[in-house]
Amino acid sequence: MISVFLGGTCNNSTWRDELLTMLDREKVSAFNPVVEDWNEQAQANEDWHKTNDDFCLYVLTPEMTGVYSIFEVADDSNKRPEKTIFCVLLERNGKTFSVDMQKSFLKIKKDLIKNGARVCESLEEIAKFLNNYDLQQTKPLIR
């Protein structure tokens, strides 16, 4: 079984719930860091998962209000690119990123790929990658 940290946009975004329904629970264990009480224990638990899970996924949506997830994915793509996955969902719940933000994300994606991180374009693409990943072979199974 592989493990994945679900980082990225919070703010009541439903992308995590949607992705969880697409994952094969016999193959993928996902850690959702979103909790009601963001305290030191929750932070320590999140930090543990970011360090120890097989993959760190960062999904950004127009619902985001902070920018820390952008730092997290850049940091992980430099420290552990082989376990970093990034996805930007340009439209969510009637919101869209501005044209300038979209241009910024295109450049970020290119740089993340240069670092060795994986970039996906949709939740479905993420699920397909994770559901078909084989830790023994360290590459996705082709189906």
Instruction: Output the pLDDT for position 141.
Output: 44
What are the residues whose beta carbons fall under 8 Å from the beta carbon of 112, sequence distance 6 or more? Answer: 73, 74, 77, 81, 84, 86, 119
Cβ pair 10, 34 in contact under 8 A: yes
User: Does the reported pTM lie above 0.75?
Assistant: yes
Contact between residue 123 and residue 18 where contact means Cβ atoms under 8 Å apart: yes
Instruction: Give the number of domains in the chain.
Output: 1
Alpha helices in the chain (DSSP H): 15-22, 40-52, 68-79, 99-115, 123-131
Backbone angles phi, psi at 9, to 5 degrees: -60, 135
* pLDDT score recorded for residue 137: 64
105 with 88: CB under 8 angstroms? yes
Within the chain, which residues score under 70 in pLDDT?
136-143
pLDDT the model gives residue 134? 82
- Distance separating the N- and C-terminal Cα atoms of the chain: 18
CATH number (domain holding residue 47): 3.40.50.2300
Range of the domain at 92: 2-140
What's the confidence (pLDDT) of residue 38? 85
